[in-house]
Amino acid sequence: MDINLEIKKRKDSGLFRKRRIVTSPQGAQIDIKGKSFLNFSSNDYLGLANNNKLKLHMVESIKKYGVGSGSSQLMTGHMRPHQLLEKRLSIFFKKEASLIFSSGYHANLAIASTLINKNTVIIQDKLNHASLIDSALLSEGKLVRYRHKDFFHLQKILEKYKKQDLIVMTDGVFSMDGDRAPLREISKICHKYNALLIVDDAHGVGVLGKRGAGLMEELNLEGEIDLLIGTFGKSIGASGAFIAGNENLIEAFIQKARTYIYTTAMLPALANTIVHAIDLIENSNNLRTHICDLVEHYKKLSKKLELYLSDSNNHIQPIIIGGANETVRVSEALYEKNILVSAIRPPTVPKDTSRLRISITASHTKKDITLLLNTIKNIQSGDC
């Protein structure tokens, strides 16, 4: 492989990825190169990444349990905070058992070695996050994808492969589009075909549902989903992830999941802090209401300014621009105005659907949203 050529091609086609060094804590305002930026690129939806109470819990937990976990969970790395967090997750998400992973990517990959063999067909929404897709690609099973949210298409595929072992996987709230999977219909169809249903609600947890337990809670479907996956790196403000389900399924992951067995356990202090973050989330209805108000303001003002209106009524709002170079141009013009909005390009999203991914968090104000949308309008009209 000619790496230099590959990098040049990426630069020419607007697909080159760059990192920026952030020198402040996370929040609605972050510092880069000594300047403050209004940040619409974060998944810290409830603003917990720099929460004072959680910071104190983290410090106290480090004093009690130290910095590292010392080994993998199956050696000596499974410590009291991990056990407490698993219990807290099971109660919060109303599942029999839960298991902690170092990241959402690890949690999704765990499905490959635990639940999939040569006879398995894994059926996934076309716009699922890369980690769900990779779990199927790295397994021995066959990956088949259905059109985005099209449960009639899903049913056709299930009918075709009904003699095989079936797994259906979907994002809850879609990471790059912000819309929601039609889980009620999907769960009914899965039930009919005896397919195992796995939902990754990384972006719904914390923001949706009365207690913040995500899309399943909002739709009252907790009992209908076989496995729920969520991450701690978004609304929970930390890092790591979990899988929750019935005891037998979770036991299978302990026995077989390569990304659980062959990796160092999460820092104990972090696990302890996440227990407290879940308590905060459960009592953060005011923050969820604030996000809803901001989304309403965003939608109304976008309409008035004749900006792209997505299907999303959630905290993730894409503005589809199309070409990668043009999307980078708008993102960089916003950067010049001290506003951070990531340009999302292929292969993260399909070709010709490059977009600005705007994430609205509880740390924002209506004034922030107004400034963002007016600036985008000015850039698109060529006024700056």
Ligand X SMILES: Cc1ncc(COP(=O)(O)O)c(C=O)c1O
For ligand X, give the closer residue by CB, 86 or 200. Answer: 200
Distance of closest approach, residue 132 Cβ to ligand X, in angstroms: 7
Residues linked to residue 198 through DSSP beta bridges, in sequence order:
169, 227
Told to check if 276 binds ligand X by CB under 6 A, we report no
For ligand X, give the closer residue by CB, 171 or 226. Answer: 171
Quick check: 48 and 235 in contact, CB under 8 A? yes
Told to check if 245 binds ligand X by CB under 6 A, we report no
Told to check if 231 binds ligand X by CB under 6 A, we report yes
Quick check: 146 and 154 in contact, CB under 8 A? yes
For ligand X, give the closer residue by CB, 129 or 290. Answer: 129
Q: Where are the beta strands (DSSP E) in the chain?
A: 29-32, 35-39, 97-101, 120-125, 142-146, 165-171, 196-200, 227-231, 241-245, 316-322, 339-340, 342-344, 354-359
Residues linked to residue 199 through DSSP beta bridges, in sequence order:
170, 228
Residue among 54, 89, 216, 241 that touches ligand X (CB under 6 A) = 241
**d(Cα 327, Cα 194) in Å, to the nearest integer?**
43
Residue among 88, 95, 129, 149 that touches ligand X (CB under 6 A) = 129
Residue among 44, 125, 171, 368 that touches ligand X (CB under 6 A) = 171
Q: Which two tokens stand for residue 71?
A: 């080994």
For ligand X, give the closer residue by CB, 175 or 272. Answer: 175
Quick check: 328 and 14 in contact, CB under 8 A? yes
Helix (H) or strand (E) holding 338: none
Task: Classify strands 354-359 and 316-322 as parallel, antiparallel or unpaired.
Answer: antiparallel
**d(Cα 217, Cα 242) in Å, to the nearest integer?**
17
Distance of closest approach, residue 5 Cβ to ligand X, in angstroms: 29
Total number of residues that touch ligand X (CB under 6 A): 14
Residue among 40, 93, 105, 253 that touches ligand X (CB under 6 A) = 105
Distance of closest approach, residue 113 Cβ to ligand X, in angstroms: 17
Among the listed ranges 26-34, 71-79, 102-110, 214-222, the one in contact with ligand X (CB under 6 A) is 102-110
**What is the SS3 assignment for 36?**
strand
Among the listed ranges 97-105, 151-159, 205-213, 272-280, the one in contact with ligand X (CB under 6 A) is 97-105
Task: Classify strands 241-245 and 227-231 as parallel, antiparallel or unpaired.
Answer: antiparallel
Interface of this chain with ligand X, residues 197 to 226, rule: CB under 6 A: 200, 202-203
For ligand X, give the closer residue by CB, 318 or 379. Answer: 318
What are the backbone dihedrals phi and psi of residue 6, each rounded to the nearest 5 degrees, phi first?
A: -60, -45
Told to check if 103 binds ligand X by CB under 6 A, we report yes
DSSP state of 306: T
Which residues are near ligand X by CB under 6 A? 103-105, 108, 129, 131, 171, 175, 200, 202-203, 231, 233, 241
